[in-house]
Amino acid sequence: ISTQQSARGNIQFSSRLNGTGSITAAADIALNPLFCKARMEVEGLELGWVQPYFSDKVQLTVTRGHLTTEGDLNVEQDHEGKIKVLFAGDLKLGDFASVDKKHADDFVKWRTVILDDIRAGTDPGIVEIGAVRIEDLFSQIIVDENGSLNLKNAFTGGKAGDETAPPDERKAIERIRIAKVILENGEVGFLDRSVNPSFSADLGEIWGSVSGLSSDKTPRAAVDLSGKLNYSAPLKITGSINPLADDIFVDLRTIFQDIELSAMTPYSGKYIGYAIEKGKISLDLSYLIESSELDARNDILIDQLTFGGAVQSEHATSLPVRLAVALLKDPNGRIDLRLPVKGRTDDPEFSVAGIILKMITNTISRAATSPFALLEAAYPGASELGIIEFEPGKSALPAGCKDRLGVLSRILMDKPSLKLEIQGFADVDKDRTGLENALFEKKLKTEKLKNMVKGGGNAPSLDDVIIDPGEFELYLKKAYDASDFPKPRNFIGMPLSLKPAEMEKLIRDHITVTDSDLRLLALNRAQKVKECLMGLQLVDPSRIYLVEKNSLAPEEKEGAGKSRAELTLK
């Protein structure tokens, strides 16, 4: 070994470190200029001794693990004084385990991680790996009682700003290529202690590969992964990605089938206020990210979702979740949601989860404000079922109403968990006038019906009696004579002969419509709707309720008169 120009020497070295693994090296070296061509072998080197070097950076403790590597290390200084380093070889990390310092919970462990055909060097900075094989990987994601995530806690530490590189620092690694990443029998556990009772899930039997990872723009790695949630619900992820390039590309489809919802009771109890008795959910998610543009499709199928008992929770939403579920279920008890999402991933205000949550929340809100509109797509005409308007003073159903109520009957038949409330209302002014007209007409019809009975013919119902224009004065006179109010008389006490208009005015003047009459009209309107539904014989009467509240007049609704019945799904 000499400092003379271009003089080369030879070194052979072997040792044990802390009584564990062995290190062996043989190298040709030169000091002027710097040169090294070495063959290195490390066998079973325990990793615990490196703990002090990163303990202030990560909140993890390495409890076991060993390193084995074999390869060639080349170091060469060029005529400009730049030093180039290149390593070519293999590396193995075996029997690794770590725990988080805060709770001493398992964080990540594996049986073997093998990196084959490594080529890593500087100037240019490159990392090329033929294959990464990960066997029996286990990682655990934990949310503690305060909602803190162990993944975030594990990588906090060090001085503020340590990870901020100087603005003029050149990118250290110019090219990364990994031919294949193979995952064999992986497992990810999830434990959430922020809900009561705690929630746990296990995504296991994870097998698959990612082939062709590269920091170059054009190549896209093929993804093919599979697993099972809680040993039953299958997961499949396929597609292509380019996560190492500056312009990230993602085109993935994720299919999750038959996830049991009853296990989600800790969340449904906290945020909905009800346990989940049974149900399954399947997800078919397609995400495309290109040039920072996201185009995502979220197809969600919920099957046989059934809520159990109420759960007291201050966090429970006031939204009508159970009603929304009942409305959205098809005749087979399934809910099919299609939630497309588009946006820019470089927009700090953009959140996929936030958009999906808002879409679901809006759907649930519509169950309260416009339940029939929510059903329009599946049942054409459903959006018009919330209100049935009547002619002033009348309770007879308007023309075409039976067909509309037929649609409602099908809805109730298809959705057996729904109940229907019907409330009648009255317009105090218009219905009072309408009732006065109806009572006036009733007096004339009564007189005609008497004549029909005397004639011996088949007498119709009073509602079916029609007063023709030519008969009006005849039956007006009969109704006037039959009325028991005091009639005008002459000076000798004989009844005066009055004109038709005068008789009509006197009859009307003695017709009184009270608030009780208006209340009865409102009740009759609701009853007529119920009778029509019962006549269709599709719905159990026990599911239909007549409702009467304090006010005769309904709330103002744009485009709707007050002489109406309102139908509400519950």
Q: Is residue 34 scored above 70 in pLDDT?
A: yes
Average pLDDT over residues 362-391: 90
Residue-level pLDDT at 3: 84
What are 328-367's pLDDT values in tens digits?
A: 998 899 999 999 999 999 898 888 889 999 999 998 898 8
- Please give the tally of structural domains in the chain: 1
Average pLDDT over residues 434-449: 90
> What is the chain's mean pLDDT, rounded?
90
What are 188-233's pLDDT values in tens digits?
A: 999 999 998 999 999 999 999 999 999 988 889 999 999 999 989 9
Which CATH number is 476's domain given?
3.30.1330.60
Average pLDDT over residues 260-270: 94
**Strands 293-310 and 334-344, bridge-based pairing:** antiparallel
CA of residue 473 relative to chain centroid, distance: 68
- Give 282-285 contacts, CB < 8 A, sequence gap 24+: 282/255, 282/256, 282/257, 282/258, 283/254, 283/255, 283/256, 283/259, 284/253, 284/254, 284/255, 285/252, 285/253, 285/254, 285/255, 285/256
Residue-level pLDDT at 52: 85
What are 399-432's pLDDT values in tens digits?
A: 889 999 999 999 999 999 999 999 999 999 999 9
Average pLDDT over residues 473-502: 86
**Cα 481 from Cα 497, distance rounded (Å):** 11
How many CB atoms are located within 10 Å of the residue 385 CB?
21
Asked if the structure places residue 252 within a domain, the reply is no
**Cα 552 from Cα 423, distance rounded (Å):** 10
Average pLDDT over residues 154-173: 55
Residue-level pLDDT at 489: 83
**Cα 402 from Cα 404, distance rounded (Å):** 5
Asked if the structure places residue 246 within a domain, the reply is no
Q: Is residue 159 scored above 70 in pLDDT?
A: no
157 — pLDDT class (breaks 50, 70, 90): low
Asked if the structure places residue 359 within a domain, the reply is no
Check: CB of residue 430 under 8 Å from CB of residue 566. no
485 — pLDDT class (breaks 50, 70, 90): confident
Domain that holds residue 472: 379-570
Asked if the structure places residue 560 within a domain, the reply is yes
Asked if the structure places residue 440 within a domain, the reply is yes
Asked if the structure places residue 547 within a domain, the reply is yes
Residue-level pLDDT at 169: 43
What are 54-98's pLDDT values in tens digits?
A: 888 888 899 999 999 999 999 999 888 889 999 999 999 999 999
Asked if the structure places residue 443 within a domain, the reply is yes
What are 295-334's pLDDT values in tens digits?
A: 999 999 999 999 999 999 999 999 999 999 999 998 899 9
- Which tokens go with 228? 């099972």
**Cα 85 from Cα 123, distance rounded (Å):** 8
* Cα–Cα distance list, 486 to 480, 481, 494, 523 (Å): 11, 11, 12, 33
- Threshold 0.95, pTM exceeds: no
**Cα 51 from Cα 65, distance rounded (Å):** 11
Residue-level pLDDT at 457: 66
Residue-level pLDDT at 171: 61
168 — pLDDT class (breaks 50, 70, 90): very low
**What percent of the chain has pLDDT above 90?**
63
Asked if the structure places residue 555 within a domain, the reply is yes
Q: Is residue 53 scored above 60 in pLDDT?
A: yes
